[in-house]
Amino acid sequence: MLKLLKRNRRLLVAFTINVLVILCLAAPVLAAEPPVSISIDDIYVNRNLLETGDQLYYAVYNIPYTLPPDEDVDDLFIFQLTDTDGTTELGANEAYPYNEQGYGKGVISFYFSATDAPAWGLNYFIRIQGKPGFFATPPDQSFIINVTDYTPTTTQEDNRDELRNNIITICRQLESAWSPTTLLTEIETGTVFNTYGEEYFRNSIYALQGMCPELFETQIVNVDYEERAWNTTQQTTYETRTQGTTIGNSIQGFSDIFDMDFNVVASLPLLAAAILCIYAAVKMNGKPEAGFLCTAALVIMGGFMGWTAFALIAVSSALCFLYIAIFLVGRIPS
């Protein structure tokens, strides 16, 4: 009987300890005091930034504390974009805790793709709510988005320009509130983020670099290009350049007399000039390299004038590259 009581007592003690641990883990922390106030200073809405029909809602919030809590702002507060009824959630986000753990002034944003974007121009609300478990009575305030907060512009270029100007304006406000921290710097192309500004806004506004690359010193741009269709139009232009002229008629006349190709006849004077250049180079320097360079120049010039066949230019270019390769290999010590 005594052994049974001892065993049951151990079980009762273990059960009591487990219940106390669970209750302690489940109990609310209730560690945070409410802020001095909650406000939204400025609200902006732009569209067509990454794709036609997308929307970006961004605002400057202010959650001042005399003595900030130990927890960061994203631990204690949630930001919601709510419908015109003030309760139906359209989107939610948390502020990035950068300066003073995210308290005081900061930026919050909500991005919607074209598929998920709500109706344009309605009186939605930005709701700032304390998270349950940290406050005895969680703060909860909503701020209306007025029709004038929506941009009247429609094109992507105009919206991106407006977004850039708005962000610079916001940065000036934050720099004043966060002094001596700065967020902007000046370069040759204009005003851009410095290291601190880039880190903060990258984490505060989704895909901002894609929306407004001009704000970043290192820019990402979608290159607009068309695949080129190659043709021989330019070659034809060169080949027919002297047709109908005195020089062209003379070369054509010799071609007809000797029954030879036009380019062969036209290349004969160039060939004579090339041999003369090589001879002069050997005579003056004992080496033909300078003459080879002159020969290449003559062949190219003849191609531009329509006298040298383009096939000959291709062969000459290949031989030049081969010669240069052999020359360089010969100079490399083994």
As a CATH number, domain 39-215 is 2.60.40.150
The total number of residues shown for the chain amounts to: 334
Q: What is the pLDDT of residue 330?
A: 67
**Mean pLDDT over residues 15-25, rounded?**
49
> What backbone torsions phi and psi does residue 224 show, to the nearest 5 degrees?
-95, 110
How far from each other are the two terminal CA atoms of the chain, in whole angstroms? 98
Q: Which tokens sit at 271? A: 């060939």
Confidence of residue 221 (pLDDT cuts 50, 70, 90): low
Contact 239, 262 (CB under 8 A): no
pLDDT, position 29 = 47
Q: State the pTM of this model.
A: 0.61
Residue 319 confidence (pLDDT): 75
* CB neighbours of residue 19 within 10 Å: 10
Q: What pLDDT score does 98 carry?
A: 95
Structural domain boundaries in the chain: 39-215, 233-331
pLDDT on residue 324: 75
